[in-house]
Structure 1
Amino acid sequence: MMPSFFIAHGAPLLAIEDNEYTQFLSNLGKELPRPKAVVLFSAHWESAVQKVSDVNDYKTIYDFGGFPEALYRIQYPAKGDKQVAKEIEQLFAKHSVPYEVETSRGLDHGAWVVLRLLYPEADIPVISMSVNPHLTPEEQYKIGKSLSELREKDILIIGSGGTVHNLGAVKMVADNVQVDDWALDFDEWLARHLKDWDLESLFKYNSLAPTARLAVPSYGNEHFVPIFYAMGAADDQQRATLLHRSYRYGNLSHSVWQFG
């Protein structure tokens, strides 16, 4: 059975960098069984109602500014898969998850930065999915759980975001600096409860986790919540494994969690 993943997409610069993290993701894509399709929940696509993309050919969205010109020349011409999109719709209907179909939106950098590192040939069909940071963690988990049987069909489910993502605290001009203690404290708390599949504590991370308000600020929780969608997709195999964790800019975490 295909596992599900939470993968940090970091800063857009990852798309043109060669470092420990980009090398890890490149190797991960080679080591995983080849999926039939990828279903990806992106922190950079927010909607009040769950969106399911049904797109033939994705355009590449450059939803950032002030970066090197090389980033804006990157193309990731992934294709969709109407059959998988229809299966997702049927599963949402079965589990009473409200949804809407999106037929024109391209892939934002939360999606294509990760996908390009995993599958540089853009030869795996993609179903892009929105997230709703205003739902409770329980509701986000339920949405992921409703799609769990897709993993039996060799479909890879990914939540793309960041466990520690506070743009007001990152030190973009000081890359290789000591990691802030508050970022480490939050990630260590998270790791303990993920490995125990302690949903009761994880669903209350905002009040229980140390330094949660720094690691997951209220204005940026959309980057954290994809982890609940990815976890829910592996509810039938409640096992969490930390595959990689590193940091940039003092506190921006590059975490990769495998579920199932």
Structure 2
Amino acid sequence: MMPSLFIAHGAPSLALEENAYTEFLQELGQTLPKPKAIVLFSAHWEATTQQVSSVAEYETIYDFGGFQPELYQIKYPAQGHAETTTEVERLFTEAGIPVQTDDVRGLDHGAWVVLRLLYPDADIPVVALSVNRYLTGEQQYQVGQALASLREQDVLVIGSGGTVHNLRRLNWGSNEIDPWALEFDHWLQDKLESWDTESLFAYDTLAPSAQAAVPTPEHFVPLLLAMGAGDRNKQATLMFKAYQLGNLSLSCWKFN
């Protein structure tokens, strides 16, 4: 059975970097069983009604500014997968989750930066999904849970975001990790590994430094979505953790 993954996508410039995290993601793509398709929730596609892509071939979206010119030359021409789009629609409908298809939108950097590191040949079909920051933590988990059976169909479920993601508090040029970022992620690791969903659903009031780590929830909710999709065995494994710019988390969690 395929795992469900949460992968931090960092800054768009991650696509050009060579470091321990990019090496890890490249190796991960080589060691995972080859999926039939990938279903990916991106923090950068927000909608209040769940969107499911039905694009045949994706354009590459450059939803950022001020980065290296080379970034804007990168293409990730992934194909869609009509069979998986239909199955995702069916599963959401069965779970009582309103759903709409989108046949226009390309892949934003929350999707293609991660996918390009995992599968540089763009040879795995992709179905992109939106996130809704206004749902409760329990509802986020239930959205992911609705897709759990995809893993039995050789479909890889990915939530792409970031556990500590506060652009206003980045420390440019810093090699030190901010204590508040570590404090939040240590709490988060404990709750994930013990599968303490009650605490996780209330992270914003229970976790130390939650307001600093998660000033807005759209980058955090892909973690709950991926966790929900991995609900069957309730096993969370931290595969990688590092930080850039003082507090921008680069982490990968596997849910089995």
Scaled by the length of structure 2, the TM-score of the pair is 0.99
Q: What SS does the corresponding residue of 2:18 show, helix, strand or coil?
A: coil
Give the counterpart letter for 2:156 in structure 1. Answer: L
**What is the CA-CA distance between 1:62 and the residue it aligns to?**
0.1
Mapped partners of 1:93, 1:257: distance in 2 = 27
Mapped partners of 2:52, 2:233: distance in 1 = 25
**What is the CA-CA distance between 1:82 and the residue it aligns to?**
0.3
Match of 2:234 among 238, 245, 248: 238
**In the TM superposition, what are the counterparts of 1:129-144 in structure 2 within 5 Å?**
129-144=129-144
**What is the CA-CA distance between 1:102 and the residue it aligns to?**
0.5
In structure 1, the partner of 2:200 is: 202
In structure 1, the partner of 2:188 is: 190
Q: What SS does the corresponding residue of 2:48 show, helix, strand or coil?
A: coil
Moved over 2 A (4+): none
Mapped partners of 1:165, 1:96: distance in 2 = 31
Give the counterpart letter for 1:249 in structure 2. Answer: L
Give the counterpart letter for 1:48 in structure 2. Answer: T
Q: What SS does the corresponding residue of 2:40 show, helix, strand or coil?
A: strand
**What is the CA-CA distance between 1:235 and the residue it aligns to?**
1.1
**In the TM superposition, what are the counterparts of 1:71-110 in structure 2 within 5 Å?**
71-110=71-110
In structure 2, the partner of 1:229 is: 225
Mapped partners of 1:37, 1:256: distance in 2 = 19
Confirm whether residue 148 of structure 1 aligns to residue 144 of structure 2: no
**In the TM superposition, what are the counterparts of 1:173-188 in structure 2 within 5 Å?**
173-175=172-174, 177-188=175-186
Scaled by the length of structure 1, the TM-score of the pair is 0.98
Mapped partners of 2:146, 2:99: distance in 1 = 12
- Alpha-carbon RMSD across the aligned residues, in angstroms, is 0.6
**What is the CA-CA distance between 1:234 and the residue it aligns to?**
1.0
Residue deviations 1:106-126, cap 9 Å, x none? 000000000000000000000
Q: Which runs of 5+ in 2 are unaligned?
A: none
**In the TM superposition, what are the counterparts of 1:116-135 in structure 2 within 5 Å?**
116-135=116-135
**What is the CA-CA distance between 1:93 and the residue it aligns to?**
1.0
Q: What SS does the corresponding residue of 1:117 show, helix, strand or coil?
A: helix
**What is the CA-CA distance between 1:258 and the residue it aligns to?**
0.2
Mapped partners of 1:14, 1:88: distance in 2 = 29
**What is the CA-CA distance between 1:236 and the residue it aligns to?**
1.1
Percent identity of the aligned residues?
58
**What is the CA-CA distance between 1:237 and the residue it aligns to?**
1.4
Give the counterpart letter for 2:155 in structure 1. Answer: I
Query: How many residues are paired up?
Result: 256
